[in-house]
Structure 1
C-alpha cells in the first residue's frame, strides 16, 4: 500500500522540536511498514467531517493525523494532541469537482469568522514608532468574475461566495482558509487580469499538476526518509505552474525574466538550468550571479533541485561574474590576474592628471570608471567616437584629446605594474574567445542580471556559441545598485519581445512588499525602452505591518531595535533567520551593540554554514540576494542614506540622479530581504527616503 506524503505534514513536522521530529519519523516508518498494526493505537476521529481521518499515537502528547482508504495511507498532519484533533475536525480531503485535483479543504461551516473586511494585524507598539497609513480599496477584488470562473480556479465550492465578496486587503485573511493552489490562482488573476485555462483533468487525481505540488507518493522507507529530511530549500525552489513556460520554452534569442523582489526570478533561472541539463546531454552551462556568496547559495539550491540526478551538476559551473572571468583568464594565460585596488587606481589617475587642474578628481574618476574602463577604450580614436551615454559634461574633440593623454598614461601604468581592472579581465577573455569557435559553455543563465556592466555583458556573449537559446537573464531593474544603465541592444543582446515580467511575490508578505514598493516608481524603463511595469504585483501571503522608528537619539533607536529583536526571539524566530543591516561599514559597531543589548551573538560573513544561533549583521550590500524571516535596517539617518560621501563624489547632475536612485534601490533591496517582519529605524529627522514609507 503506497504512502502519500502531504505538504501539510512536512510543514507541521518542521514546527516541532528535533527530539519530537525523530519520534514522529519513527512512527511514520512504522505506519508505512504496517499501517494496520494494533500497536500504533490508531483511532478514527469521530468529530471530523471526513470519515477517513485517523489519529495515530506517537507518545503521550503527539499525534499523527492520517487519511486512510482501502488504497493508500496519507500522512496529513502532526501536532500536539488537542491541536492535531482540531485540525482534522475542520478539514476534509476531496477531489475538486472542476479541476480534478486532490485538495485538503477547510470545512466552511466550522469556520466561525471569515471577516472579508478584516482588521490588519499590527505589531506591538514600540517607542517612537511612526504610524503608517495605507489607502485601502473597499471594492471586491474579484467582482469581474462569475461563480463559475472562481470554481474553475480551484476554489472549493463552499468558499466561492467568500471569494467574490473579498476586498484586496481582506483577501489575505481569506486565503489562509483556501487550498494554496486556489489562492495562488486567484492572486495570479489579480496580478495579470487573465484567467488562465486549467490543467487537463487526469484519470488519477493524484497525477494532476496541482496534486503533485502538494502530495508525494512514496514506495519505500528510503523515499520517505529522504522526503522528511529534505531541507527548507526544497520548498524554496518550487516552480509555480504559471512560470513553467519560461523554463520550458525554446526562444528565438536572448531572454530576460524581470520582476520585483521575491517574484521567483531565481527559481525560474534554477529550473531553466535543470531543464537544459536534462534535455541536452552535451550541454555545458554557466550559472552566474553578482557575487560568490550568491553563487554558493545557487549551488546549494541547484543541488536540492537535482537531488534525484546529482551527476547532472558535473556539467554546470556556478560562480560570480568576476570569478567566471578570472577562471577562464587563468586557463588562457596560466597565471592569476592581479586586480588593482580602488584607492591605488585613483592615485594613479590623480598623478596622470596633475597637469590638467581644471578637471576635478570626481570627474576624472567617474570618466574612467563609467566610460574608459567600462567600455575598455584603448585609443584616442575610440574615445572620440564612444557614446558617453548619460554623461552631462559635454566634451569637445579638444577636451577628449587632452583627457585621452591622462587615461592613456593610466593604462600604461597598469601595464607596467602587471595590474588589471575587473573590466580588463573580462575584456581579455572576451578577445580570446571571440576569435574562437570552441566555446567553454553552450548555455549561460544569469541571476541578478541588473548588475551586469558593459564588459561583463560582452564577456558573456563571447563565451557561448551563437545559438538562439544560449543566453537567459533573470533580474530586477529596480534592484540595480552597482552599474550605470547602458544599451544591451547596442552590444548585440536584443531581448525585445522576449522580456517577461513576473507579478506574483512568493517571498515577501503583502505588508512588507506594499511598503517597499513605495520606494520605487511603478514603471521603470531601461535604455533600450523595455519597461518593467511593477504595478499589480501581489504577494501570496499575509503578515504584520512593518515598523518604522524615528528616534530622538542613538540610545533610543538602539533600545527600540533591541526590543524588536527580543520580541522576534520570543515569537520563535531563530537568530539565524534574522538579518540586521546598515548603510556603511562605519555603522557596523552600532549594529553589533543592538544585537548585544538583545543578548544575541552575531556573524558578519556568509562563508561556510550559518549557525542557527547567530544573527547576520552587515551593510545593505551584503543583504543582496539573501532572505530572512525578519530584517532590521538601522541607522537610516539624514546624510547616511543617501550616503553623503557618494553625493560628494559625483561629477555632474546626471550622476547625482543616479547616485540618489541607486541609494533608494539599495534600501529597497534590503527591505525586501524580509519574509515576515521588517523594522526600519533612524535618528530624527531621518533619511528623506523614509518620508515615502511613512506617507505610503
Structure 2
C-alpha cells in the first residue's frame, strides 16, 4: 500500500500550535507503521461526499483526515474537530478522468436563484444605475478543452460564465494546474496543451505538486518538517520546460519577483548531478546569505541521495573565487579595504602633482572602469566601453589619468592587497588557459547582479552544452552598472526564457510594485526582459501606504499594523520589517518593540530566529519571503539614500543611483506574499507615490 502525504495536510499542520504539531507528527508516524492499529481510533466519515475519508483522533480536539483505499493511505488534512470534518465534507479525492492526475477537489455547489419563491417581494430601484455585468472570459472554451487541462467536470458550466473578477474570487478553490492554465489563457488567449498521461497517477507531474509518496520514516520526517510551501519542490509546466531543456551554449531565465527563477536554478543543479555521475556543479549567487539559502533548499531537494549533494559546490561569487584562488596559489587573498584604496588615490594624485583632479572622480573611474574591466595598460583603457559613465574622456585625458591608476595598483601590490575585481580576474586568467575546467556546470542565481569581473570568471569555469545557466531579473539589479555580456563571450541570445506566473506575491502587491519599473527592459546586448503578461495566482488585500507626521507617529502606526497581522493569525516568524540602511533600523526595532513582539536583526549568517520578527536592511531582504512585510522609513532623503546621491560624479551616475535605489525598493516590497505596509515620515519618497495604481 502506498503511504501518501498531501500538501493540504502539511499546510494545515503548519497552522497548529507547536504542541499540536508535535502530537500530530507522532500520530502520523504511528499511522505509517501500522494504519490499522486500534489505538488510533479511526472512524469513517459518513457525511462526506467521498466514501474513502476517515478521521483519526490525535487528542481530545485535533483530528487527522485520511483518505484510505485498497491501494493507498493518504494524510489529507488536520485541524480542530469541527473544522477538520467540515473540510472533508466539502471535498473528494480522485484521479481526473482525462488527465489522470490525482486531485483534491472542492465539491462544487452553486446556489441558484429560485425566482418564484420571491415573486411577491417589492424591490426598490437602485439610487444609481447598475453597472453592466463584466463579460465572461472563458465562454469560448469547449468542455473538452477544459477537461484537457484537468478541470473537474462539475465546475465546467460555472467556469464558462466567469468574469475576470469572478475568476480571482474562485481560483484558489480549483486544482492549481487548472487555475494556472485559465490564468494563462486569460492573459495570452492560449490554452496549454494537455500533458501525456502516465500509467501511474502518482507519477503525473500535477499529482507530484500536491501528493508525495513516503516510503520510509526518514522521508516522512522530511515531509513533515519541510512542507512544500516553504521550499517549493514542484515545478509549473513553464518552469519544468526550462529545467528540462538542453542548450548549446549559455542560457538565461528571467521573470519578475516571485516567478520561481531560483526554483528553476535549483532544479537545474539537481538535474545535472542526477543525470551525470561525473558532474561537478557550482551553484552561486552574489551574497553569502543567498548562497546559504540555496544550500538549505538543495539539501532538501536531494535528500534522497546526499552523495549527489556532495558534487555541488554552493558559494557566493566572492567565496567561490577565494576558494579557487587558494587552490591556485596556496594562500587566501587579502582584500584592500576602502581606506587603503582612498589613500592610494590621494597619494597618487599628490605624487603626480594633479592638484586639480578630484579624488572622488578618480575613485569612480577606478571602480567602474579600470578595476572592473581589469585594465592593465593604456591601450586597453583607451578601448574599453564606458557604459554608465557620462564622461567621454579623450585620448589625452586618458593618457594623463593612466599613471594615477598604475600608481594605485603598484601601491596595493606592494602591501599584498587585491581588490575583489582583481581576484576574479586572476581566477579567470588561470582557468581560461586550462583545457580541463573545475566544473561541468555553473548555475547562477540573481544573475542581474553579476559584475564584469564576476561574469568573466564564471565564463572561464565551465564550457560545453548546458555548462552555463543564469537566472535573474533586470528589474532587481541593485549593485552593478549595465554592461555587455557579449563583450565577455557570454551570449544568451536565442537561449533566453521568461517566466510569467507569480506564485509568491498576491496580485494586489505585484501590481503595486510593478508601478516602480518599466514594463520592458532591454539589456546592453538587446535581450529584452518583458514584464507584460505577468500574473499572480492568488488574491490579497491591497498594500497600505501611510505618510506619518513624525517618527513617533510612524512607530505607533507600524506597531498597530504588526499587532493586527498577528491577531489575524500571521506568526511573528512570518513577518519582515525592512529599512533602507543601518541608520534607519532603530525605527524598525522601535516599532517591533512597541507592538510587544520580539525582533531579530538579519545578518549574513544563516540563522533560525524562532518565532521572532525579522528586521533588516533592504539589501538583506533579497531572496527572502514573508507573509507580511513592512517597509519603513521611506522618507525623501532615505529613498534614494542621500549619501549615494551626493557621491554621484555625473548625470549618468546619478541616473544609475536612482535606478538601482528604485530596484532596491521593489525588491523589499516583493518579499511580501499576502500583506505589505509602507510608511515614511513626511515628505515621503517619490518612489512611494509611484506605487499608486494607475
Task: Find out whether 1:241 has 2:242 as its counterpart.
Answer: no
Task: Find out whether 1:530 has 2:504 as its counterpart.
Answer: no
> Structure 1's 324 and 233: CA in aligned 2 closer, same or farther, altered over 3 A?
farther
Aligned ranges 1:162-241 → 2 under 5 Å? 162-219=158-215, 221-230=217-226, 235-241=231-237
Q: Per-residue CA shift, 1:228-252, capped at 9, x if unaligned? A: 3335676423222321121122111
Which residue does the alignment assign to 1:693? 691
Q: How far is the alpha carbon of 1:358 from its aligned partner?
A: 4.0
Q: Which moved more, 1:9-18 or 1:323-332?
A: 9-18
Partners of 2:221 and 2:188 in 1: CA distance: 39
Which residue does the alignment assign to 1:628? 626
Equivalent of residue 321 in structure 2, options 309, 325, 339: 325
> Structure 1's 138 and 638: CA in aligned 2 closer, same or farther, altered over 3 A?
farther
Q: How far is the alpha carbon of 1:608 from its aligned partner?
A: 4.1
Partners of 2:216 and 2:361 in 1: CA distance: 68
Q: Per-residue CA shift, 1:285-319, capped at 9, x if unaligned? A: 11110111111110000000000011111111110
Which residue does the alignment assign to 1:440? 438
Which residue does the alignment assign to 1:79? 79
Partners of 1:52 and 1:72 in 2: CA distance: 11
Structure 1: 5+ residue stretches without partners: 114-135
Which residue does the alignment assign to 1:576? 573
Q: How far is the alpha carbon of 1:536 from its aligned partner?
A: 0.9
Aligned ranges 1:327-346 → 2 under 5 Å? 327-346=323-342
Partners of 1:588 and 1:229 in 2: CA distance: 32
Equivalent of residue 603 in structure 1, options 589, 600, 607: 600
> Structure 1's 648 and 234: CA in aligned 2 closer, same or farther, altered over 3 A?
closer
3-state SS, counterpart of residue 694 of structure 1 = coil
Q: How far is the alpha carbon of 1:193 from its aligned partner?
A: 4.0
3-state SS, counterpart of residue 353 of structure 1 = helix
3-state SS, counterpart of residue 20 of structure 1 = helix
TM-score under structure 2 length normalisation: 0.93
Which residue does the alignment assign to 1:251? 247
Which residue does the alignment assign to 2:51? 51
Partners of 1:220 and 1:338 in 2: CA distance: 48
Are the aligned partners of 1:137 and 1:169 in contact in 2 as well (CA < 8 Å)? no
> Structure 1's 289 and 161: CA in aligned 2 closer, same or farther, altered over 3 A?
same
Are the aligned partners of 2:640 and 2:685 in contact in 1 as well (CA < 8 Å)? yes
Q: Which moved more, 1:654-663 or 1:302-311?
A: 654-663
Q: How far is the alpha carbon of 1:541 from its aligned partner?
A: 1.8
Q: How far is the alpha carbon of 1:511 from its aligned partner?
A: 1.3
Partners of 2:202 and 2:5 in 1: CA distance: 11
Equivalent of residue 405 in structure 1, options 384, 403, 406: 403
Which residue does the alignment assign to 1:471? 468
Partners of 1:691 and 1:547 in 2: CA distance: 12
3-state SS, counterpart of residue 494 of structure 2 = coil
3-state SS, counterpart of residue 529 of structure 2 = strand
Which residue does the alignment assign to 2:545? 548
Q: Per-residue CA shift, 1:320-370, capped at 9, x if unaligned? A: 001111111122111121111224312322332243344433322221111
Are the aligned partners of 1:137 and 1:168 in contact in 2 as well (CA < 8 Å)? no
Which residue does the alignment assign to 2:116? none
Q: Which moved more, 1:367-376 or 1:161-170?
A: 161-170
Q: How far is the alpha carbon of 1:283 from its aligned partner?
A: 1.1
Q: How far is the alpha carbon of 1:168 from its aligned partner?
A: 3.4
Tell me the matched-pair count: 673
Structure 2: 5+ residue stretches without partners: 114-131
Which residue does the alignment assign to 2:680? 682
TM-score under structure 1 length normalisation: 0.92
Q: How far is the alpha carbon of 1:112 from its aligned partner?
A: 8.9
Are the aligned partners of 1:3 and 1:217 in contact in 2 as well (CA < 8 Å)? yes
Which residue does the alignment assign to 1:292? 288
Equivalent of residue 423 in structure 1, options 421, 424, 435: 421
> Structure 1's 602 and 60: CA in aligned 2 closer, same or farther, altered over 3 A?
closer
Q: Which moved more, 1:388-397 or 1:140-149?
A: 140-149
Are the aligned partners of 2:511 and 2:693 in contact in 1 as well (CA < 8 Å)? no
> Structure 1's 432 and 21: CA in aligned 2 closer, same or farther, altered over 3 A?
same
Aligned ranges 1:347-496 → 2 under 5 Å? 347-354=343-350, 355-464=353-462, 466-496=463-493
Q: Per-residue CA shift, 1:359-408, capped at 9, x if unaligned? A: 43332222111111111111112111222224221211111111112111
3-state SS, counterpart of residue 586 of structure 2 = helix
Q: How far is the alpha carbon of 1:477 from its aligned partner?
A: 0.5
3-state SS, counterpart of residue 627 of structure 2 = strand
Q: How far is the alpha carbon of 1:33 from its aligned partner?
A: 4.5
Q: Per-residue CA shift, 1:557-585, capped at 9, x if unaligned? A: 11111111111222232222221111122
Which residue does the alignment assign to 1:26? 26
Are the aligned partners of 2:288 and 2:316 in contact in 1 as well (CA < 8 Å)? yes
CA RMSD of aligned residues (A): 2.2
> Structure 1's 335 and 207: CA in aligned 2 closer, same or farther, altered over 3 A?
closer
Kindly indicate whether structure 1 or structure 2 has the higher relative contact order, using CA contacts under 8 Å at least 6 residues apart: 1
Q: How far is the alpha carbon of 1:110 from its aligned partner?
A: 6.5
Partners of 1:291 and 1:28 in 2: CA distance: 39
Are the aligned partners of 2:412 and 2:418 in contact in 1 as well (CA < 8 Å)? yes
Q: How far is the alpha carbon of 1:640 from its aligned partner?
A: 1.5
